């Protein structure tokens, strides 16, 4: 009888040892992932790709470890999973906790920003969103030339502009419209647009943003070969690694160019649009970190905006410099685009 109990006991001890290592290793791995995103981010193809992965996938070990620790009576180690859950929810998934909002000012400005996916859902769906929210300023990105949409916005707003992929409609005068320098986007679609708007809050430098998307960067076959270790050398043109790195560098250059211009403004700055930068992004922290994030200032939860039907990334944002603040922020996901819209109410500090 003793001959059979010994191997069973050895197997049990091995299992419990592995369980203890996993209990400590899981939160440490999540912390390492956070550090990798923060310090390396888009500068390496692997972390650049993982930034856009559904964060909930990182919760898989938690689903196994919690019941395992409970059933094996290792409940003293449950604190490790509480730490893991906190790291997962806040820095990785981007949870914003409820917080008393800033007091509004005597004058306010409401802003709607929306990547409209080339108006594929139809102008009437997009105009319905505008009518429901009744913003003072509309900023559409990825807008194709749609006569019905343009006419509908011109009928609702006194001031209107449609340049490249950017549509802007305003109740207040659009005094200037400035595209990025030509050398910043040679042969490419304009990725930002600057407006000077004489609003209810005074003159504002408004930037509508839509840097290049990571979607379609790596074909499925290339990604499959990369995961199998069969992909071409990283220096070879067209390899998954080089494509991810090149795409991330291009996006960072476009954001850097827009924020560099914004930093030289003499007027308060408002930035809005589809940034294509998820939470924990290094580029987001470096270039947009100095600005107030409307969602973090006046809302709570995750605020995911893409993809619209089952969102797991917060890409669309409204941000402002220190002279402006937010009293209200909303996110909505109708079937009018593959993105959700973001709406904010701002005031002058």
Q: Mapping DSSP to helix (H, G, I), strand (E, B) and coil, where does residue 57 land?
A: helix
The predicted structure's pLDDT at residue 7? 62
What is the reported pLDDT for 2? Answer: 47
* Dist. CA 242–CA 248, nearest whole Å: 10
Identify the pLDDT of residue 234.
Answer: 41
**pLDDT score at 190:** 86
Burial class (CB in 10 A: 0-12, 13-18, 19+), 205: buried
The helix/strand count (H/E) of the chain reads as 10, 12
The pLDDT value given to residue 161: 96
β-pairing, 159-163 vs 166-170, is antiparallel
Can you list the residues of the chain whose pLDDT is less than 70? 1-8, 11, 101-102, 105, 182-188, 216-238
Spatial contact of 132 and 156, defined as CB atoms under 8 Å apart: no
Q: How many angstroms separate the CA atoms of 143 and 118, rounded?
A: 5
């Amino acid at each position: 009888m003793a001959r059979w109990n010994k191997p069973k006991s050895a197997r049990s001890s091995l299992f419990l040892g592995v369980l203890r290592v996993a209990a400590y290793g899981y939160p440490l791995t999540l912390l390492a992932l956070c550090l990798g995103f923060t310090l390396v981010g888009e500068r390496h193809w692997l972390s650049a790709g993982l930034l856009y992965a559904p964060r909930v996938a990182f919760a898989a070990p938690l689903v196994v470890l919690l019941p395992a620790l409970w059933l094996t009576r290792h409940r003293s180690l449950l604190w490790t999973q509480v730490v893991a859950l906190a790291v997962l929810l806040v820095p990785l998934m981007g949870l914003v906790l409820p917080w008393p909002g800033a007091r509004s000012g005597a004058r306010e400005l409401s802003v709607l920003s929306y990547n409209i996916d080339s108006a594929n859902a139809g102008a009437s769906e997009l105009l319905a969103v505008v009518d429901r929210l009744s913003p003072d300023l509309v900023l559409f990105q990825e807008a194709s030339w749609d006569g019905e949409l343009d006419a509908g916005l011109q009928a609702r707003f006194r001031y209107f502009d449609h340049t490249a992929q950017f549509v802007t409609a305003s109740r207040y005068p659009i005094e200037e419209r400035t595209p990025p320098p030509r050398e910043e986007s040679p042969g490419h679609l304009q990725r930002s647009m600057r407006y000077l708007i004489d609003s209810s809050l005074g003159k504002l430098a408004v930037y509508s943003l839509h840097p290049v998307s990571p979607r379609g960067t790596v074909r499925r076959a290339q990604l499959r070969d990369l995961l199998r270790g069969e992909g071409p050398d990283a220096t070879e043109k067209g390899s998954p690694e080089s494509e991810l790195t090149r795409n991330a560098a291009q996006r960072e250059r476009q954001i850097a160019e827009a924020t560099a211009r914004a930093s030289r403004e003499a007027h308060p700055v408002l930035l809005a649009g589809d940034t294509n930068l998820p939470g924990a992004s290094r580029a987001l922290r470096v270039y947009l970190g100095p600005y107030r994030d409307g969602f973090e200032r006046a809302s709570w939860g995750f605020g995911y905006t893409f993809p619209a039907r089952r969102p797991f990334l917060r890409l669309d944002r409204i941000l402002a410099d220190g002279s402006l603040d937010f009293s209200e922020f909303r996110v909505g996901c109708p079937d009018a685009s593959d993105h959700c819209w973001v709406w904010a109410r701002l005031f002058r500090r």
